[in-house]
Amino acid sequence: MTSDTSLFVQAQGWLDEDWARMEKTLGPRLEALRGKRILVTGAAGFLGFGFLHFFSYLNRTFLKNGRLSIVAADNYIRGCPRWLTELVAVSPDIQLVRQDITKPWPQSTASRFNFIIHGASIASPKVYRQYPLETLDTNISGLRHMLELAKSHRTESILYFSSSEIYGDPPAHEIPTNEAYRGNVSCIGPRACYDESKRLGETLCYLYYQQHGVPAKIVRPFNNFGPGLRLADGRVLPDFCRDILADRDIVLRSDGSPTRTFCYVSDALTGYLLTLLSRHHAEPFNIGSDSPEISMHDLGRMLLQVAGSARQVIHKPSEEADYLTDNPNRRCPNLAKSRSLLGYTPLVDLRIGLGRMLHWYRHFVDLEELAEDKRVS
């Protein structure tokens, strides 16, 4: 096997295919980032992986003569993943900062943030069911501190990640679901800490825009996946991939009938940046893929086909009592608003995206997970 550093360089080159597609799609809009300073919270997570790699790519290509300065903030409670320390080692424009966003941002920060991408959140159902109060604190207090920071820095734009979970379990006539649908969400139950705090986050963004003129942008992600998503994340696709990599049957913890759409990371990031750089303040945009809407059973079968595996999809109930409580039966976005106002169109076919995700896990996963307990000094 090649050395770790060589492996990192190979991974970076392989990922450039995704970032080049994004650069081509975003085009002249990227000029708005030239020479700017940007804060990314939740930098050690999946969204942080995508944004930091893409910004590093831009600084090597499009923005050579006006590079972005990036502050990557996280509390690193799960450690600083190796991909992040390796990326920072070759990206002098990225600065790591340890910060608990449930606490106010240090007043000593002198330099202005032109943009804030607030990606810090507990998004895995497996994790937020274990830490419901921490989830509330992160999604409410953390966002409030970021909005205050944006206010004091006169930030050009702050991006808030709401969730498609705020729609709850829509009736059939509301699927595909557009942004005007107000949701069918339980305020009491094992998912409520996440769903309801994300809904309140949208209200906070609206109020800070109305009362203080903070240019808050709101996106509602629909099931993002791709390179950078931890195998131990606890969401459906990493779990399926773990079974495939271990050469065992894919285990479903439901009857396999619930349906979702899945959006590959480069398409998702493109939608988020289109929103960040838009003039549409304090109004939500669905960002995801609107096809195919696929059942969990068929998703498992598709992934096995992509992997060339002869294994099967089997069903075993979860040992967690609340595993399926309030779990939506269907989830599919109506993208008409995002298409017409942002010019957003997802490009990557689901099978191709699944193939790239599997390739990442098979060849580069140790960059993300070998040193998961490593701490930032």
Mind telling me the catalytic residues?
A: 194
Phi, psi of 199 (to 5 degrees): -65, -45
Cis peptide, bond prior to residue 176, ω within 30 of zero: yes
Q: Is 56 buried (19+), middle (13-18) or exposed (0-12) by CB count in 10 A?
A: buried
The partner residues of 37 in beta bridges, in order of sequence, read 69
Pair type for strands 284-287 and 216-221: parallel
Q: Report helix, strand or coil for 264.
A: strand
- Residue with token string 């921490």: 134
Of 31, 44, 27, whose CA–CA distance to 233 is shortest? 44
The partner residues of 287 in beta bridges, in order of sequence, read 221
What would the DSSP string read from start to end of 47-97? HHHHHHHHHHHHHHTTTTTS--EEEEEE--TT---HHHHHHHHT-TTEEEE
On whether the CB atoms of residues 45 and 72 are closer than 8 A, the answer is no
